[in-house]
Amino acid sequence: MKIAHTIDEVKTLVKEWKKEGLSIGLVPTMGYLHEGHASLIERARKENDKVIVSDFVNPIQFGPKEDLATYPRDFEADCKLCESIGADLIFNPEPSEMYENNFHSYVGVNTLSEGLCGKSRPIHFNGVCTVVSKLFNISEADRAYFGQKDAQQLAIVKRMVRDLNFNIEIIGCPIIREESGLAKSSRNTYLSDEERSKATILHKALEMGKKMIEDGEKDASKVIDAVKNMIESEPLARVDYVEIVDWNELQKVNTIGGPILMAIAVFFGEKVRLIDNFIME
Ligand code: PAF
């Protein structure tokens, strides 16, 4: 497996691969890789001749009060994991390599970015769309792999690719969970042991909400209230949002009919904010 820190190194390899007619799969990550990322890399490995994993904590998707400085990093462990799955290249640029002085160009997707996590993280999705666009251009990938845990991100990237005619297929992959049901996330490392065990309430509450809908409940506010109440029964948890939106425009629905996304964000302690969701097609 090759390690690249510059855009030119990646472009040189990609040029060779393209000349040979090889397909390329890209797995964009911010590093500190866990089983969730591994499942994306494994899928990319199966479906492409070459696999690039980007490992870059993207500063422009963090708000001023967010955890950019403390975001967990372990590049050596990331390299080991990527190598063990058979990735061909890990791309680990410095922020100055991605954003030169006088960087002024940003990509954004209106409407879909405004609700859910976009409400409390107003610049986040423009930062994501911008870095992902750069990675698509640098890697010339045929396919890119994103986890469904960040469902809003997945919907936004798919829409950006459609709207701006990027020549790439976006593949959404299922949420990977710990045995307890807690969705795998690099940010789980911020949790104390007690918070970690209490955080399983997110998945339990979502499962209950899903069952209500499967049993025929169509009133979104009833499902939302039940899920919120269950989470709030846990004293360590503080709800940021519990919402049901249509799985197309990400707008709130009153009556559950077509495909929906039920998404939640919950604070544990002062600074740990966990997200989880389910999609019902
Ligand atoms: O999901 C993430 O880890 C990041 O938002 C991404 C897609 C790698 C962009 O920095």
Q: What is the pLDDT of residues 227-244, one digit of tens each?
A: 999 999 999 999 999 999
Tens of pLDDT along the chain (281 residues) come to 999 999 999 999 999 999 999 999 999 999 999 999 999 999 999 999 999 999 999 999 999 999 999 999 999 999 999 999 999 999 999 999 999 999 999 999 999 999 999 999 999 999 999 999 999 999 999 999 999 999 999 999 999 999 999 999 999 999 999 999 999 999 999 999 999 999 999 999 999 999 999 999 999 999 999 999 999 999 999 999 999 999 999 999 999 999 999 999 999 877 799 999 999 98
Q: How far is the CA of 117 from the centre of ligand 1 (A)?
A: 14
The answer to whether the beta carbons of residues 172 and 154 sit under 8 Å apart is: yes
**CATH number belonging to domain 186-274:** 3.30.1300.10
| Distance separating alpha carbons of residues 148 and 129, to the nearest angstrom | 16
Report the interhelical angle of 201-214 vs 220-232 (nearest 10°).
Answer: 160
The ligand 1 atom nearest the CA atom of 61: 10
Q: How far is the CA of 224 from the centre of ligand 1 (A)?
A: 28
Residues with CB under 6 A from ligand 1: 28-30, 58, 61, 128, 131-132, 150, 153
Q: How far is the CA of 225 from the centre of ligand 1 (A)?
A: 30
Question: Start-end ranges of CATH 3.30.1300.10 in the chain?
Answer: 186-274
Please identify, in words, the CATH class of the domain defined by 2-173: alpha beta
Q: How far is the CA of 30 from the centre of ligand 1 (A)?
A: 6
Backbone angles phi, psi at 72, to 5 degrees: -65, 140
| Distance separating alpha carbons of residues 203 and 210, to the nearest angstrom | 10
> Does the annotation count 5 as an active-site position?
no
| Distance separating alpha carbons of residues 212 and 194, to the nearest angstrom | 29
Place of tokens 């969701």: 277
Of residues 232, 240, 280, 248, the one with CA closest to residue 264: 240
| Distance separating alpha carbons of residues 111 and 41, to the nearest angstrom | 30
Of the residues 37, 104, 124, 203, which is catalytic? 37
Task: Work out the widest C-alpha separation in the chain, in whole angstroms.
Answer: 59
The answer to whether the beta carbons of residues 202 and 262 sit under 8 Å apart is: no
Q: What is the pLDDT of residues 43-97, one digit of tens each?
A: 999 999 999 999 999 999 999 999 999 999 999 999 999 999 999 999 999 999 9
Q: How many CB atoms lie within 10 A of CB 79?
A: 19
Probe target for ligand 1 pocket from 128, 135, 158, 185, with the most ligand atoms within 8 Å of CB? 128
Question: Start-end ranges of CATH 3.40.50.620 in the chain?
Answer: 2-173
pTM for the model: 0.97
